Chain A
């Protein structure tokens, strides 16, 4: 059947919607500029009250994509999470519920060693007179919203894959069934389309890492798209998470680098007077590859969240329900796109990891 005419019609419709959207977007940018100039002048204490009156999408969006010490569920209900602080005097553990009052406004809490306050999700030590004491440096190892969400996804991955591995043991030599048949093509995809072509015959050693990276990123991406409790955290859109993943890739690639890999960095095939420049370039290259991985995943996922939140914010910027259908339509479109991006980014991260490992372990052939 030929649906091309319908497609054309839809394209036309989409174009019209985009035109409309762009009109709003420029307006949105204007309002953002306005807010940006106003915000620093706004008093710190009155901020919460002011936000009730005047909606500031920048603050809301950044709040939503950033980490938090409590997991906001709905209205004034949040899930308190453990705060773990490494202070110069020792470890301090308490519930994040202590750091806010019933209106979700920050409130000082007197712990064992110091008095703490949650200042924009940064735990600070208060002096006796109620001002922030910058001289005391504390390391914050709290189970934040992102950490908790990551734990949930890790448990989910473990439960799913260990049960599927069990069904492999039960159904030896038989065709996959149920969850097994859903996951097997993905595993085979990682093996045949990511690991094998990029790494070569040594791929088997790196399969566990590649599979873990792929499913860790993918599950966290997907959970990040869920707007309610078990999801809603922006785990893979947080620079710390992507930094750790990129760091692991950096370590694995360089530990497995063979003599040809190092020779390519320190003895490249160039005139001798170019060597010092090449060393700099190549050493930067060693770090820039994982750095690109880090930024790519972070930026893609964060951008997706920002777009979805911006579209939702339109309703509150215009303070009218009339805009809601447009917002919902675009959010739906973006969510579907984000489903694709969730998979795509997991795939790209894994594929580039395999590629970097491949360049590190490949045999010399010139």
Chain B
């Protein structure tokens, strides 16, 4: 039948044009196109991978930051606590030092007061002694103004001596 009888001319021209089309397209179209598509796909994949890596890196960094922050907070707390302790210690030390210093001063003052008191008493004693002597001298002088009395006294003193 006419319809299913291939004609030699069409077979020839189809073969020629298809092969030419295949060769030209392979060289000028398919190679650059498939290459470009492949290249683009690879670059997209790369970019996605890189984005994933960057995300992980970001997560890691933020974790690190958080840890650092925590650590810093803990350190700050520790420093504050230490400072407080030191302050307390200093205050206490100052207090005890002041107390001992005070006590020492008081002690010293007491000693001084005593010394002064003893000295004063000595002074008073001396004064009293000299006063008594003066008084006694004055009294003696009064007594020995009268001759009779002097002789009486000497007599009595002599009597005493004999007795001893």
Contacts and interface: CB of A to CB of B under 8 A. Distances in A.
Contact of B8 (A141, A154, A162): A141
A366 B28 CA distance: 41
B79 interface: no
A272 B163 CA distance: 182
Instruction: Place the interface of chain A in its size category.
Output: 35 or more
Contact of B18 (A173, A188, A216): A216
Interface stretch (A33-41, A239-247, A318-326, A343-351): A239-247
A298 B4 CA distance: 9
Contacts of A146: 10
A62 B1 CA distance: 11
Interface string B8-30: 11111111011011101110111
Interface stretch (A92-100, A103-111, A126-134, A207-215): A207-215
Given A143-B13, A212-B26, A240-B14, A158 B21 contact: yes
Interface string A151-189: 100100110011011001100110000000000100110
A239 B4 contact: yes
Contact of B11 (A161, A173, A243): A243
Interface string B22-53: 10111011111110110110010000000000
B32 A168 contact: yes
A207 B37 contact: no
Nearest to A187: B33
B45 to A, nearest CB: 13
B33 A140 contact: no
B39 to A, nearest CB: 7
B152 interface: no
Contact of A140 (B4, B8, B40): B8
Contacts of B11: 240, 243-244
Interface string A75-115: 00000000010000000000000000000000000000000
12 contacts: A120-B2, A140-B7, A140-B8, A141-B12, A147-B10, A147-B13, A162-B24, A162-B29, A172-B39, A173-B39, A209-B22, A243-B6
